[in-house]
Amino acid sequence: MPSQARLPQVTVMVNRVPVVVPSGTTVAVAMVLAGQACRTSVTGEPRGPLCGMGICFECQVTIDGKLHCRSCQTLCRQGMELDTEK
Amino acid sequence: MAAAARAAECGVRVGIVDDNFSLGGQIWRSGSGNDQNHDKRNHPEPNVDERNDEPNDDNQNREAARWAHRVRISGVTSLCGLRVVHQPETGVLLAENLDGFCELSYAKLILATGARERFLPFPGWTLPNVMGAGGLQAMVKSGLPIRAKRVIIAGTGPLLLAVAAYLRQQGAEIAVICEQAAWGSLARFGLALCSWPTKILQGLQLKREIAGVPFAASSWPLSAHGDEALESVTISRAGRVEAIPCDYLACGFHLVPNVELPVLLGCALRDGFVEVDDFQQTTVSSVFCAGEPVSIGGVDLALVEGQIAGLAAAERTTEAKAWFGHRQKTRRFAQLLDRTFGLRSELKSLPTPQTIVCRCEDVSYSRLRESTSWRAAKLHTRCGMGTCQGRVCGPAAQFLFEWTPDSVRPPVFPARVETLAAIAGPLELLPSEARGEH
């Protein structure tokens, strides 16, 4: 998309693998783009964003060591380290 | 935003708290420009009148831009990425963001906490890439590529059409829209729209935007399938069963008001909604409420109620009264929505015994069926005790089992220990005098 080409790119680490996304992308979207589930449920199911608005907590990701961050409401920043939550 | 701008324009010192990274709540969620409307949102033409031949989303963007402009120039302080978790003492809110917390003191408070989608469980609904209808829209606004992706939209209400139109505009292939209401209800809805000419225009506009998209009434998802993520959905379509491969399933069964914070502050509810008087004032005199927590009425009603609340909080009662007629008319539309899109009983049979109802604690339908009340279910299964505090499973359980939810306890959202440690005394609700009880 033409407008996306104009946006600066940002590299984040998803489970220690670099992923490049346009600036302004949320962490939840970066996880989906990386093909990674955000978290694993109590019985071991892979889970991803559901509500997209910070209510359901299915998008919980560890960001730079901080647990239980709502990734759908967090913007990607250069060098962020994102880890799937158990 | 409407409440804040109006109050600030009266000379009052105003702050807005929005837990997203920019203002606008959900309906005007601006994302940060990764969808095709970025330029229109960030280069608004405030003097151009709404053009009814333009996509609905453009009109919304212009409306949003106008209010954002008013918020900016009226000197409102915007606090984004901040979430209120508790009110440790009257007039002081405790709020948290990614990095820390703060206390916000106020003389008057206007709550516009909006609504969330109601999710109904069915086999496979926990697979990644099954999202809310508004949820998928929010993700696309936040940069999720959707061009050439196959999407099924299911559930109920005009939101499905609005989401379909938006996603299509972003290049998605909408395989089908599954509306659970019957054609009879929808036809009656269409006829009733005659009282709202603007709505008819909006409706016709929406119809143009989704021309050619298959639409099925009396239709709902039966199950979602996939290995690590969604691969296909089986739907019921007027009694017939159909399996459809897709990349995303966007499903939402109407909206549920976010009344947790109002209840925590001692505001009384009526029929599950925040009780307010003509000036949008709740049963707590310093607290006003506008929009979805008062009634599910959409953006038009929220804007009117927001303005009334802002003016009333600024003690401009005469100016507030000038909006009463407009609110009355807009409210009737909200009531029509309620009647048309009520949930059918067939949806209660969607979950199988193994279907998970509480996603935070992985509690299955069969385990919940053994309980006789929401409270009993919480105690025996932990349903509703997980991170979302019953925000997802609560409305589902209410529909499936006809349970009523019980009281709200602080913190109203999960909060870090260091934030809660800042409170001097024990973590209590306000004293009962403040709640109007004795």
pLDDT bucket at B437, cuts 50 / 70 / 90: very low
Chain A residues within 8 A (CB-CB) of chain B? 1, 3-4, 7, 21-26, 28-29, 32-33, 37, 41-43, 45-58, 60, 63, 66, 68-69, 72-75
Q: Nearest by CB to B144, which of A1, A32, A51?
A: A32
What are the structure tokens assigned to B137, written together?
Answer: 């829209």
Considering its fold, how many domains does chain A have in total? 1
Q: Is domain B119-253 in CATH 3.50.50.60, yes or no?
A: yes
Q: Which fold has domain B2-113+256-338?
A: FAD/NAD(P)-binding domain (3.50.50)
Q: Nearest by CB to B36, which of A1, A55, A73?
A: A1
pLDDT score recorded for residue B346:
95
| Chain A residues whose beta carbon lies within 8 Å of the beta carbon of residue B142 | 24-26, 28-29, 52, 72
Domain ranges of chain B: 2-113+256-338, 119-253, 351-401
Q: Each residue of B269-325: pLDDT tens digit?
A: 998 999 999 999 999 999 999 999 999 888 889 999 999 999 999 999 999 999 999
Least confident of B22-36, B85-99, B398-412: B22-36
Percentage of chain B modeled with pLDDT above 90: 63
pLDDT bucket at B432, cuts 50 / 70 / 90: very low
Residue A52 belongs to domain spanning: 2-84
At position B151, the amino acid (one-letter code) is V
Q: Global pTM? A: 0.87
The complex's ipTM works out to 0.93
Rounded mean pLDDT, B36-65: 53
Q: Nearest by CB to A72, which of B138, B258, B360?
A: B138
Rounded mean pLDDT, B153-165: 94
Do B2-113+256-338 and B119-253 agree at the fold level?
Answer: yes
How close does chain B come to A14, measured CA to CA in Å? 16
Rounded mean pLDDT, A22-48: 94
Q: What's A14's domain CATH number?
A: 3.10.20.440
Is the separation of the CB atoms in B386 and B418 below 8 Å? no
A65 burial (CB, 10 Å; 0-12 / 13-18 / 19+) is exposed
